Structure 1
């Protein structure tokens, strides 16, 4: 999913190819999911773009925009599979999770939501595409200089790269102390901090040696300071190379995290990798390096103790083989704290049914910290068994 680095990359290409030019034609499809909020429609987007000059382009986390010479202006969010294509220009790198060549021959491309053509010669042609319809396009009627003070931008937290005056250590530590959420879920909350998605969240936790299920209010000041510094480092590094993963440092988890489903995934040094669902997202972590802690001390859970083949009893040192715990056994903190995060119940047959597009849309909106536009209807037993 496009995150802070990928959005910075597309803004780079917009500034290079579109800013300063006048839009001759613009057209959009009638997609009520992509456009249908705050009065925005495909026709309204077409009318707002046609004949307008593009003054500037900017971003805040996962959101980016075009400032025109006359309001309203266009604010966009890629969702999970959205992208912006410029005809004849490779705007994205093929990557471990996105293997596409955006220099398409057919124009406008398949799954286009809106496209535009400039007046210059040769004309620049731009298309916003999304095949899963989880992207968002909004019109914001305000002075261009005030765009970040209006919805949807004002609801989002500070950008860790650009907002150095807002994203401070004091701000970060105060938010952590006040939250009982798992740290990975907090990082994904766009109201708290803008731009961090699944892979960036995994990377900063790996570099900080913090377990994704660690409760925020159980982090020490030293841990939150390290996490804050690593967030700045990872985001600045990724944005600095415009999301080109080929230029990421060789010790980053990013290059090895795409191993879900493979047998015994490890880092090059042999460190085992595992996956766990946190905040409705699959998180990858190094099991030996990232431990749940209390006051900075790793917590020994029953699941780990059961891995030992032999235990010594108190009545004379007699040793006997210990049977492994049943597969469905829940983890229990050794110190017995009621604040310890409870593991989620095992997913049954119903939960294993493939998610619908509407459920994925709802999860995406929850991650952004906004209320889903439409509640997902409960599916009956017959629908689940199909």
Structure 2
């Protein structure tokens, strides 16, 4: 998912290739999901003939300031991106080598939602999104008011654009009792921190992702603050180009999630655990829980498989990374097929109940409980009838009456199951 550094990259290329240029044509595909609170036709009308002033960002959001309102505000979701016809290098992704990104691209690109054609020939840009989780909005306010309206006004500060005040940062940590990784992912706390950035921050701060934010020591709070500024600033300074990230970053070794055995160059294993609904990468030998956690850590701060959650919640096993395709994969519950039986209900004694089948019940009315010989005769009679059908198991229902013609049991019936040999 594009995070703060990837958005910085896109903002950089928009300013480099579009600023000061006028839009001569707009092609937009109707998509009621991607176009939020607007339509493709309204977007086309709002952009046509306008001049691009500049692009800006707040965390994972970015917008293009136009010569007049409304201004397009965008969010990439999981797979959104801006494709530049004249800047193929802007297509760089974390899993792509720099030279691969310079190959020729098809135009218009697949999964295109809109294309802006600029006045200078061949200088076009397209918003693409394969999974349709991105959003395109029109914000009809003055450019300097954009951050004061939804959805930006609900977001926390951008650690690079706005900076972070350390006292405020520590105050939030002390007030909130949530796993620290989940807090970092909360966009109302800090804008732009996503899954890999959050993992990198905690790795450098040497903090376990499941430790509660309000249990961090003063030293840990300082480490977390410094790491947040360092990781975000460093990643944005190289426009999210991971080939330029420092070699000691977790980012270099975390991908693949266990399929080939993730480890640092030192040989220390990289493990994965689910925190805040996301798969988190961490190194047990360096990131030990020193305070309360969502999962009770064993001695030494590790969270071995089978660690028990607090407050009597069921045990859980550490996330097996090889069972997941990507950081945001969630397994769906598969409904049972018709004709498939679920687990058999159990009696109070814990034995499985076998529901009676049609035509298998035999109600026998007797005046008094019979002798053992009479019961055996009844069994033999049932056995003969059952054997004709090739059945081996019979269940009888016996109504026991007393001498007055009344039921001798509270319910009036008594069930007896017999297992007979052929």
TM-score range, shorter chain: 0.7 to 0.9
- Could you tell me which residue of structure 2 aligns to residue 7 of structure 1? 7
Q: Is the 8 A contact 1:88 1:104 kept in 2?
A: no
Equivalence for 2:87: 89
How far apart are the structure 2 equivalents of 1:186 and 1:44? 37
**What do the CA deviations read for 1:330-386 (whole angstroms, capped 9, x no partner)?**
4368xxxx6xx96874699xxx8999x9x97xxxxxxxxxxxxxxxxx97824899x
CA deviation vs aligned residue, 1:279-336 (integer Å, no higher than 9, x gap): 111110001110111289xx861698998xxxxxxxxxxxxxxxxxxx7x44368xxx
- Cross-structure match for 1:229: 226
**Larger RCO, structure (CA 8 Å, separation 6 or more):** 1
2:266 equivalent among 251, 266, 269: 269
Cα 1:384–1:211 shift into 2, 3 Å: farther
Judging changes above 3 Å, is the alpha-carbon distance between structure 1 residues 301 and 379 closer, same or farther for their aligned structure 2 residues?
A: closer
Q: Given the two structures, how large is their TM-score scaled by the length of structure 2?
A: 0.71
Separation of aligned partners in 1, 2:180 and 2:260: 27
Q: What residue number does 2:63 align with?
A: 65
CA deviations 1:217-264 (Å, max 9, x no partner) are: 111121111101110001100100111111110100000011313254
Conserved? CA contact 1:22–1:54, under 8 Å: yes
Give 1:198's aligned residue: 195
2:257 is equivalent to residue 260 of structure 1: yes
Q: CA deviation at 1:105?
A: 4.0
1:1-386 mapped onto 2 (5 Å cutoff): 1-35=1-35, 37=36, 39-90=37-88, 91-96=90-95, 101=101, 104-120=104-120, 122-164=121-163, 167-294=164-291, 301=298, 329-331=306-308, 345=316, 381-382=335-336
Shift of 1:79: 0.8
What's the offset of the Cα at 1:104? 4.8
Secondary structure of 1:175's counterpart equals: helix
Runs of 4+ in 1 over 6 A off after TM superposition: 97-100, 302-307, 341-344, 352-355
| Equivalent residues, number | 331
Could you report, residue by residue, the CA deviation over 1:24-81 in whole angstroms, capped at 9, with x for unpaired residues? 011211111111x3x3111111111111111111011110000111111000011111
Change (3 A) 1:19 1:257: same
Q: CA RMSD in A?
A: 3.3
Helix, strand or coil at the partner of 1:101: helix
Alpha-carbon contact 2:184-2:190 (below 8 Å) kept = yes
Q: Deviations over 1:125-161 (max 9, x none)?
A: 0000010111111110100111111111111100001
Unmatched segments (≥5 aa) in structure 1: 308-326, 361-377
Does the aligned pair in 2 maintain the 1:301–1:332 contact within 8 Å? no
How far residue 171 of structure 1 moved from its aligned partner, in angstroms, is: 1.2
CA–CA separation in structure 2 for the residues paired with 1:7 and 1:306: 34
Q: What stretches of structure 2 of length at least 5 have no aligned partner? A: 340-422
Give the Cα–Cα distance (whole angstroms) in 2 for the partners of residues 109 and 163 of structure 1.
Answer: 34
Find the aligned partners of 1:229 and 1:305 in 2 and give their Cα distance: 24
Q: In 1, Cα distance between the equivalents of 2:338 and 2:289?
A: 35
Q: Could you tell me how far 1:98 is from its partner in structure 2? A: 8.8
Q: Distance in 2 between matches of 1:10 and 1:244?
A: 12
**When the two structures are superposed, what TM-score results if normalisation uses the length of structure 1?**
0.78
Contact 1:156 1:190 in 2 (8 A): yes
Distance 1:192 1:132 in 2: 27
User: Rg: which structure is higher?
Assistant: 2
1:271 Cα deviation from its structure 2 partner: 1.1
Task: Return closer, same or farther for 1:304/1:173 CA change in 2, 3 Å cut-off.
Answer: closer
